[in-house]
Structure 1
Amino acid sequence: MSRCAGKRVWFAAGTATVAAVGALTAVALTGVGAPGAGGPGGEGGRPVSGAEAQRMALARFRTYQQSPAEVTIRVPSTGTETVTVRAIVDHRLHRAVGTFETATARGVIAWDQGGIAVTDASAKAPSRTPQQALRRAAALKPDRWTRRPYTPAPLDRALRLLLSLSANRPDNAQLLAQSGPLWLREDRIGGREYGVFSGPRPRPNGTQSPTTSASGRSPLAYWIDGEGELRRVTAEVTPGRTVTIDVVRRHVYWKLPDAPWRLKGRGR
């Protein structure tokens, strides 16, 4: 791990990527507010059984065990435009690196628990996959990154949510069941069966908290299989607008580069 690991090294924005950052921020901020009062998946649902609570309690631990993983995040905007982030996340380091793409901008993005860094796609062959993004991120100098702290924008909430989806031990199933999660329905993704649950938002410190809406329903939904493997998470940011996080591949072998976290003017 680099000497910068665990530190908040995000510094003031440079000039190299202002256009890309502006386009990305505009899409993320437009027309999206706080989480809606209704939970995902509409009305209905029932309290989880003991076995279902055990399944949910394993989900974040399984995610931690299966890291690094490839993920896809989709953040809706007004109209039909969407910010799509394809990234590799290392839950042990609490870091992720990948690509972002909108209808008008594309680049490389990195984030940790302290903030976000973005660079534009000025290369002749812009990065479109997480693997390409890792190679490009490793090659860029510190002054090519535009860094900032998190804001309440939906994109920022989605990136932070991803980093909170793991824990180095299982959650307490009994306490989790008492916090009000609901079984919503069964669903199938890629030929595999998943239970869809609403529940309290995950917290980075490994505990669950019943942060439900005024209606008593969480704006979050989790797709979890019978072994406790988390496949998808959705978060309703406004009525009818939902952020989606998909875990595409697990146990990937690409190491995250240190470059996005190097202090300006220093080496490793």
Structure 2
Amino acid sequence: MVALAVASAAAVGVAAFLIVDSRSEPAGPRALTSDEANRLAITRFRNYEAGGRAVTITVPTTAGGLVVTGAVDFRAGLGYGVVRGTGRDTSSDGLIQWNATTVFVHPVADAPAEAPASPPGAGWHRRSLLTAGSSLDSALLIALGLGSDRPDNAELLPQNGAAWVGRDEVGGHRVDVLSGPAARGRPGTAGNVRYWVDQDGTMHRVRADVASEPQPVVIEFDAREYVPVQPAPGVAPTP
């Protein structure tokens, strides 16, 4: 599998040691059961089947955190939302849209709680998505990688180091916390990313450390209704 988004994450220097919430039930890690392996294998495909999902991405930075509230279209490989600083000034606040290679930002002095369904027609600034040294860009790329147009190979997951870590509750949903397998071509990376997955394979949370920060990126899949992502002017879906 793409290490369940670890392959993309590896490209941006993701390496992780993740801690399960203190309220989680201790017990793991242990080998996956066949049911757990099957659910881990389909969790990215579930996102792709849904087309897209509402997300909240919490990003640690040296100057204080950033929170992106928005949505990811897993079929188009396109994300869109509002970015706000936490514990820092508002210079980074505004709208953000991204694909696998490019980030588009639209500064807004008083950023709204949610991005408008139709992106503004002008005022966007374009830059390349950084493949190293930016926890924000790492988080954006990881988020795009959490959808896949086919299930992963359930038989290979345990062989490559995927494991059951514990149980937890997210948004009223009982979930298993499952660590992902080693990234392809990167021995020793098993467990770099952890997934909070319910009984039907739906993903509720993902945590991964990025090389540029000691704290993990956290991606929450919200109960908010998914609003399809419309490309801003000059923004193309990922090929």
Q: Is the CA contact (8 Å cut-off) linking 2:167 and 2:176 kept in structure 1?
A: yes
Q: Quick one: which amino acid aligns to residue 65 of structure 1?
A: E
Provide the alpha-carbon RMSD of the alignment: 2.7
Match of 2:197 in 1: 224
Shift of 1:58: 0.9
Match of 1:148 in 2: 127
Q: SS of 2:43's equivalent?
A: helix
Shift of 1:259: 2.4
1:13-162 equivalences under 5 Å are 35-36=14-15, 38-41=17-20, 45-78=29-62, 81-102=64-85, 103-105=88-90, 106-122=93-109, 126-130=111-115, 132=116, 134-135=117-118, 137=119, 139-141=120-122, 144-151=123-130, 152=132, 153-162=134-143
Shift of 1:96: 1.0
The CA distance in 1 between the partners of 2:181 and 2:185, in whole Å, is 5
Residue by residue over 1:117-176, the C-alpha shift from the partner in whole angstroms, topping out at 9 and shown as x without a partner, is: 101004xx632213x3x33x2x332xx111111211111111000111111121111122
Q: SS of 2:210's equivalent?
A: strand
The CA distance in 2 between the partners of 1:157 and 1:256, in whole Å, is 20
1:37/1:59 CA distance change after superposition, 3 Å:
closer
1:251/1:67 CA distance change after superposition, 3 Å:
farther
Shift of 1:67: 2.5
Q: Give 1 or 2: higher helix fraction.
A: 1
Shift of 1:222: 0.5
The CA distance in 2 between the partners of 1:180 and 1:232, in whole Å, is 20
Give the number of equivalent residue pairs. Answer: 213
1:262/1:227 CA distance change after superposition, 3 Å:
closer
Identity of aligned residues (%): 31
Structure number, greater radius of gyration: 1
Q: SS of 2:164's equivalent?
A: strand
Q: Which runs of 5+ in 2 are unaligned?
A: 1-11, 22-26
1:249/1:93 CA distance change after superposition, 3 Å:
farther
Shift of 1:98: 0.5
Match of 1:3 in 2: none
The CA distance in 2 between the partners of 1:157 and 1:109, in whole Å, is 14
The CA distance in 1 between the partners of 2:185 and 2:191, in whole Å, is 8
Q: SS of 1:127's equivalent?
A: coil
Q: SS of 1:194's equivalent?
A: strand
Shift of 1:53: 0.5
